Amino acid sequence: MNTLAPVKVSFKAQMHLAREDAIVQAVNRLLAEKGFDAMTVDEVAAEVGIAKASLYKHFPSKEDLACAAMVRVMRRAQAFLKSLPDTAAPIDNIKAVARWVMALNLAGEMPTLPSENSSLRGTLIQSRDYMDGLIEISDMLGGWIEAAQAQGTLNPGLPAIVVLYTLYARACDPVLEFLKAAGQHTDAQIVDLVMSTCFEGLNAR
């Protein structure tokens, strides 16, 4: 029986990958803290402790840095969605995703990108890793949304795409930041409050 021998990665290649990982982690933190427009390549290089010229050997532009951070988050999201139980009700999976996204935001681990930036949008669209991840996540969430609507646990009168975009919006919801800055609630309490407004609305019950 033939077995595949493990692929040996050279020390140089390992160092290259480790540096790229450190760069992406730094970018993720800076994007979460400052946003794309305020983040500079100089700050990223300083955070990692390398020269800007060395940084450009890994990522040729600020847009590529942001794309790498988004791919990283996308992969975490894919892994989280796949970890949810197949036997769970669709609405429970949807709520679990909303909670996970908001917790990531409050922990300062969710990159903040502008909604209108043609060069950044072009880089994201050209990234196969990003687009494949986005399509997979959207398909999984879309299936749960349609199933929950069919079961009557989500408003069937809303187009599924509206519900999907509402879930995506929780990743950059300013209410989370406002409540955290006020210092009157824990992160868990903030998530509970926003979950209530998102899934139950503001009408008196």
Helix axes 118-126, 128-151, angle to 10 degrees: 90
C-alpha of 201 from chain center: 24
Amino acid sitting at position 130: Y
Give the residue among 172, 83, 69 at the shortest CA–CA distance from 130.
69
pLDDT, position 88: 95
pLDDT, position 118: 86
pLDDT, position 12: 67
pLDDT, position 186: 96
Largest CA distance in the chain: 68
Give the residue among 65, 72, 54 at the shortest CA–CA distance from 120.
65
121 is a domain residue:
yes
Q: Which residues contact 39 (CB under 8 A, 6 or more apart)?
A: 27, 30, 31, 62
Query: Mean pLDDT of residues grouped by 10 in the chain (205 residues)?
Result: 60 74 91 90 92 90 92 93 94 97 92 83 92 95 97 95 93 92 96 94 77
The SS3 of residue 5 is coil
180 DSSP assignment:
H
150 is a domain residue:
yes
pLDDT, position 156: 94
77 is a domain residue:
yes
pLDDT, position 10: 72
Q: How many residues are recorded in the chain?
A: 205
2 is a domain residue:
no
Q: What is the CATH number of the domain that holds 40?
A: 1.10.357.10
88 is a domain residue:
yes
Note whether 35 and 69 are within 8 A (CB): no
Scanning 11-152, the segments in alpha helix (DSSP H) are: 11-34, 41-48, 52-58, 62-83, 90-106, 118-126, 128-151
The number of distinct structural domains making up the chain is: 1
Token code pair at residue 58: 């890994």
177 is a domain residue:
yes
4 is a domain residue:
no
Tell me the pLDDT tens digit for each residue of 96-111. Answer: 999 999 999 999 888 8
pLDDT, position 201: 87
1 is a domain residue:
no
pLDDT, position 20: 87
Domain holding 127, by residue range, is 11-200
Give the residue among 185, 165, 21, 194 at the shortest CA–CA distance from 100.
194
